Structure 1
Amino acid sequence: MTILLDDDDLDRLPAMEMALAAMEEAFLERDQGRLVSPPRFHVPFDTLGNLVFTVGGNLGSNPLAGFRVYNTFHGRADAQLTAIWSAGDGELQGIVVGSRLGQIRTGAIGGVAIRHMSPPSAKVMGIIGSGPQARMQLEAAASVRALEHVRVFSRSEQGRKTFADEMSRALGLRVEATDSAHAAVDGADIVVCATSSPSPVIDAQWLKPGVHVNTLGPKTVDQHELGSDVAERADVIATDSCEQAGSYHAPFFLSGSSSEGRLVELAAIISGKIAVRPSGAETTLFCSVGLAGTEVLLASRLLTAAQAC
C-alpha cells in the first residue's frame, strides 16, 4: 500500500533528528560515489513560471530513487510533491506532499555543515532572517551544538520578535530579537543568513575571527545575500554540490572572484578528506545550494517511521 504523508504528519515525527542522520549518510554516500544527485532542472511555462525538479537517490544494498517537484507559479514554492521508489524492485514506497520536507532537509544540511565546520565549543549564534528556513536552521544547529544565546534580526520587527518568542519556547534557549543585523552577528560563533535579499545583509568586518557562516539565500552574481568580502575572510568555503552551484541561471556569486577556485564539497569534509580547523581558529563558510537525492533518502526514512506508528 502506498503511503501518503503531508506537513501535519511530518510535524508528528522526530523529523529533524531523522533528517540529520539521513544527511550524514547522504554525504558519505556522495563522497563514495553512491549518491545519485544531478543538478535540479526547470521546465518553463512561458510567463507563468516553472516546474522545478530535483531527481536522485542512492545505490547500494537498498537503493532508492525518486524526485521532488515544486512550482514557481505566482512566485510560489510551497506546493511540493516528493515520490520515492525502491530502485531494486520498482515499488512505490510513498509520496510526501507539502513544503515541510524541503525545509527540514535544507535545515538538516545546514546542521550537518555546522556540526563539521563550526567551532565545537560554539555557544552564540546570530541569525539573519525569521522565516521557516531560519527556524529549521536554528533547530538543526541546536541539535548539534550546545547553544546558550541566539540573536535574530529580520526586516520585520514583529517577525523577529515572534521568532524569538516561539523558538525560545520550542528549544528552551535564550533567543533575542535585535534591532540590526550587526547586533545579531557581532561576536557570534555561528552565523546563519536565511533571507531572500538580493544584496548583502552583513559585512565581513562584523564577524569575529573563527566564525562559521551558513548562507541559504540568493547566491548568483546579480543577487546574493552575502558579499565576496565574507568569502575572502573564510579559510574554507564549502557547498553541498559544486555541480548545482555551477548550474544556476546566472553565474555563482563567487564567479570571477579570488575565492572562486576555493570551493570544496561538504562531503569531502564529512569524510575527513579535507581538514577544516587544523589550528582551531579558521573562519569557515558553507553555501547551501540544494543537493539532489537527499530529500529522497529523508522521505524514505519518514515514510518508514510513519508506517511503524
Structure 2
Amino acid sequence: MQTLLLSKDQVKGLIGMRQVIAAVEDAYRAFSSRQVEQPDYIGIRLPEGRGEIDFKLSYHQQAEMISMKAHSGGFTGNPEAHGVPNSMGTILLFDARSCALACIMDGSLITGLRTGAAGAVSVKALARKNARTIASIGTGNQARMQIRAIREVMQIDEIHAWSRTPENLAAYKQDIEREFQIPVIIAASGKGAVEKADILITTTRGKGGLVQADWVKPGTHIVAIGTDARGKQELDPELFRNAKIVVDSIPQCTQKGETVHPLAGNIIKIDDIYAEIGEILLGAKPGRASDDEITIFDSTGMAIQDNTTAGSIYRNALANTIGTFFSFIG
C-alpha cells in the first residue's frame, strides 16, 4: 500500500466549507452512536515557554479510519528563528483494517475549518428559523471562521462585534465587510453587542464571565467556542440555569468546557445537560422547543471532527488524482 502526501495548498483546494459542515455532522452522529473511540489528548509543554504540542487520536468505526493530529502553538519566534509558522498541524490517517498509513496531510487549516463548521451545525439544529443578527464577542481568526461557516446555513443581515482591542475590531469589520458584504456594527460594549443578538458567538481566550446572563434576550442561541481547557471561561454561569444546554461531548464539556463553571457552582447538575448535539442530529431528541428558549452549544472540539474532515479531503484527493504517493513501508 502506498501513502498519499498532501501539502497545505493541496488541502485548501480539496474541501469547501459546506463539505466540512457535512463532515462535522457525520462526526457528531458517529460519536453519539457510539461508533467512535477517542482517547484523551496528550499535550507536551516545551521548556522555557517555547510553546506546546498536542496529539489527538480517534477511530471512526464505520469508516474504518484512524486519525492522529499533531498541532503545535505558541512558538512566536519560529518565523524569524526557523523560517516556519508559529503554529503548525499535521494529520496522519491510517486504514483501520490493516493500520497501514494511508495519508499524511497538512492539518494547519483543518482545526479552524471544523471548529467554524461546528458553530454552523449548532445553528442549523438550535437557532430560531428567523434568526438574522449575530453578535461576535471576540474578533480573531476563529470569529471570522464562524461567520464563513454560519453564512452557509442562514442569512446574516448584520453583525454586532465587540473586542477589548479597538485595532482588532476595526480589522474584523474591514475583513468581514470586504469578504462577505455583511454590515458589521462596532459595539461600544460587550453588553451592547449581546443585547442585539439572535445568535451570540464567543471566541475569546477569556478567563472570566465576559457575557452576563441579564444581557441575553429570550430566543438567543449561543455558540460557545473559546472555552476548551480548564481555566478558560466566557459565560456567566447563571446563563445555564434556565437554558437548554447542548454539548459536543458530555465527558469533555464537563471536564474542560464552559459547562464546568455552572456545574462547579451547583447551578446545574450533569442531568441538566439536555443532549449531545449528535443526539439531535440523529433525531433521538428534538432541538429548539420554542422561539423564547435560550439555547447554549458548548463546543470543546473533538478528534473525530479532524478524522471525518481529513477523511473527506483524502477521498477528494484520490478522486481527483491530487497529491504525491510514496512507499512508506518499502
Q: In 2, are the aligned partners of 1:130 and 1:159 still within 8 Å (CA)? A: yes
**Deviation of residue 99 (structure 1)?**
2.6
Q: Which moved more, 1:37-46 or 1:196-205?
A: 37-46
Residue 280 (structure 1) aligns with: 291
Quote the RMSD (CA, aligned, Å).
Answer: 2.5
Residue 80 (structure 2) aligns with: none
* Letter of the structure 2 residue corresponding to residue 27 of structure 1: Y
Q: In 1, are the aligned partners of 2:203 and 2:226 still within 8 Å (CA)? A: yes
Q: Which moved more, 1:288-297 or 1:41-50?
A: 41-50
Residue 30 (structure 2) aligns with: 29
Structure 1 residue runs without a partner (length 5+): none
Post-superposition Cα deviations, 1:35-68, rounded to whole Å, max 9, x if no partner, equal: 22233233455665543221003112x3110111
1:181 aligns with 2:194: no
Q: Which moved more, 1:114-123 or 1:256-265?
A: 256-265
**Deviation of residue 175 (structure 1)?**
2.5
1:213 aligns with 2:222: yes
Q: Which moved more, 1:41-50 or 1:82-91?
A: 41-50
Residue 301 (structure 2) aligns with: 290
Cα distance change, pair 148–16 in 1 and its aligned pair in 2 (3 A):
same
1:94 aligns with 2:103: yes
Between Structure 1 and Structure 2, whose CA radius of gyration is higher? 2
Secondary structure of 1:293's match? Answer: helix
Number of residues of Structure 1 aligned to a counterpart in Structure 2: 307
Cα distance change, pair 159–5 in 1 and its aligned pair in 2 (3 A):
farther
Query: Taking every aligned residue pair, what percent have the same amino acid on both sides?
Result: 24
Residue 122 (structure 1) aligns with: 131
Q: In 1, are the aligned partners of 2:88 and 2:107 still within 8 Å (CA)? A: yes
* Letter of the structure 2 residue corresponding to residue 129 of structure 1: G
**Deviation of residue 177 (structure 1)?**
2.7
Residue 164 (structure 2) aligns with: 155
Match of 2:248 among 235, 240, 247: 240
Report the TM-score, using the length of structure 2 for normalisation: 0.84
Q: Which moved more, 1:35-44 or 1:125-134?
A: 35-44
Q: In 2, are the aligned partners of 1:78 and 1:98 still within 8 Å (CA)? A: no
Q: In 2, are the aligned partners of 1:102 and 1:295 still within 8 Å (CA)? A: yes
Match of 2:146 among 125, 137, 148: 137
Cα distance change, pair 166–9 in 1 and its aligned pair in 2 (3 A):
farther
Q: In 1, are the aligned partners of 2:17 and 2:113 still within 8 Å (CA)? A: yes
1:105 aligns with 2:100: no
Cα distance change, pair 90–141 in 1 and its aligned pair in 2 (3 A):
same
Secondary structure of 1:133's match? Answer: helix
* Letter of the structure 1 residue corresponding to residue 294 of structure 2: T
**Deviation of residue 6 (structure 1)?**
4.1
Q: In 2, are the aligned partners of 1:15 and 1:302 still within 8 Å (CA)? A: no
Cα distance in 1 between the residues matched to 2:33 and 2:308: 16
Q: In 2, are the aligned partners of 1:116 and 1:270 still within 8 Å (CA)? A: yes
**Deviation of residue 266 (structure 1)?**
1.2
Cα distance change, pair 270–173 in 1 and its aligned pair in 2 (3 A):
same
**Deviation of residue 210 (structure 1)?**
0.8
1:253 aligns with 2:251: no
Cα distance in 2 between the residues matched to 1:249 and 1:21: 24
* Letter of the structure 1 residue corresponding to residue 32 of structure 2: D
Residue 70 (structure 1) aligns with: 71
Report the TM-score, using the length of structure 1 for normalisation: 0.89
Structure 2 residue runs without a partner (length 5+): 77-84, 323-330
Match of 1:168 among 168, 177, 185: 177
Q: In 1, are the aligned partners of 2:228 and 2:299 still within 8 Å (CA)? A: no
Match of 2:213 among 192, 204, 210: 204
